[in-house]
Copies of this chain bind each other. A is one copy, B any other.
């Protein structure tokens, strides 16, 4: 019997974002691995085991799941959003590269999902309508100087910037510093979108200007989109504003 490992993207957390491909992978698995709150989103099925682990235990979770698959089981690792964007897919690849040779013979698959920046963007209009980048603000796995260098490069060249992991208990000042750095490149009125818990009951999506945005506006579950010089806000009477970045860009020298 030959085991398999599938890394499954659940999307932002409501079943209406779960693709049929992801649903099929979850249904057919013998064992599910994942961060507890993500596993809790998957309906319980008879005969299926589930092993929850802490959010920071990505490597250990990947190793445990690969071990189980190597024993012959059909294993799924669940990931919020898309597993390939600051999530479990890279941790699984790292474990395969450094693990036993037998793991390279396993059938491994990745099922894409709606990542947070796409869900937040869709709630507010089309802020990612032109060139953009996605950057994790966590300096657990890279030096803060590299994050600053990337923020400088992205804002200076006119990319819209989606910020993942803006804040955590162990990283209280980084997001405020990032906003201050971006303020040296971008006008004070640049739109900044804060999206929290999209598709869940406590969903909250807000637009502020860069000069009014504050490190305190985000927490661990927030995805932040900082506009470019081209990003626009459409006010609508009695409705929430639309934020979008036009398809055309003219400015070469920001």
User: Are A82 and B125 in contact, with the CB atoms below 8 A?
Assistant: no
| Cα distance A17–B107 in the bound complex, in angstroms | 21
Assess whether A249 is interfacial by the CB under 8 Å rule: yes
- Nearest residue, chain B, Cβ from A92: B126
A36-44, A67-75, A116-124: which lies at the interface: A116-124
Q: Give 1 or 0 for each of A92-117: 1 = CB within 8 Å of chain B CB.
A: 11101100000011011011111100
Interface residues in A, total, Cβ within 8 A: 82
Q: Which of the segments A27-35, A142-150, A174-182, A206-214 contacts the partner chain?
A: A142-150
Q: Note all chain B residues with C-beta closer than 8 A to A78.
A: none
Inter-chain CA distance A91–B41, complex, in Å, is: 35
Known contacts A94-B246, A234-B104, A249-B142; is A131 also within 8 Å of B118 by CB?
A: no
A55 to chain B, nearest CB (A): 13
When distances are taken between beta carbons in the complex, the residues of chain B under 8 Å from A245 are: 90
A84 touches B250 (CB 8 A): no
- Judge if A129 is at the interface, Cβ distance under 8 Å: yes
Question: Interface-forming stretch among A45-53, A133-141, A215-223?
Answer: A133-141
| B19 contacts A145, C-beta separation under 8 Å | no
Query: Considering only CB atoms, which chain B residue lies closest to A235 in the complex?
Result: B104
Chain B: which residue is nearest A12 at the CB level?
B112
> How long is the Cα–Cα vector from A91 to B250 in the complex, in angstroms?
16
A6 CB to closest chain B CB (Å) equals 10
Rounded to whole angstroms, the CA-CA distance of A85 and B135 in the bound complex is 17
Chain B proximity of A91: nearest CB distance (Å): 6
Point out the residues of chain B lying under 8 angstroms from A232, CB to CB. Answer: 93, 97
Cβ 8 A contact of A247, one of B83, B134, B141, B246 = B141
Scoring A residues 228 to 249 as 1 if CB is less than 8 Å from chain B, else 0, what string do you get?
A: 0000101111110010111111
Query: In the complex, which of the residues A121, A126, A142 has the most CB atoms of chain B within 10 Å of its own CB atom?
Result: A126
Q: A82 contacts which chain B residues (CB < 8 A)?
A: 118, 122
Beyond A17-B21, A236-B105, A237-B104, whether A242 also contacts B93 by CB under 8 A is yes
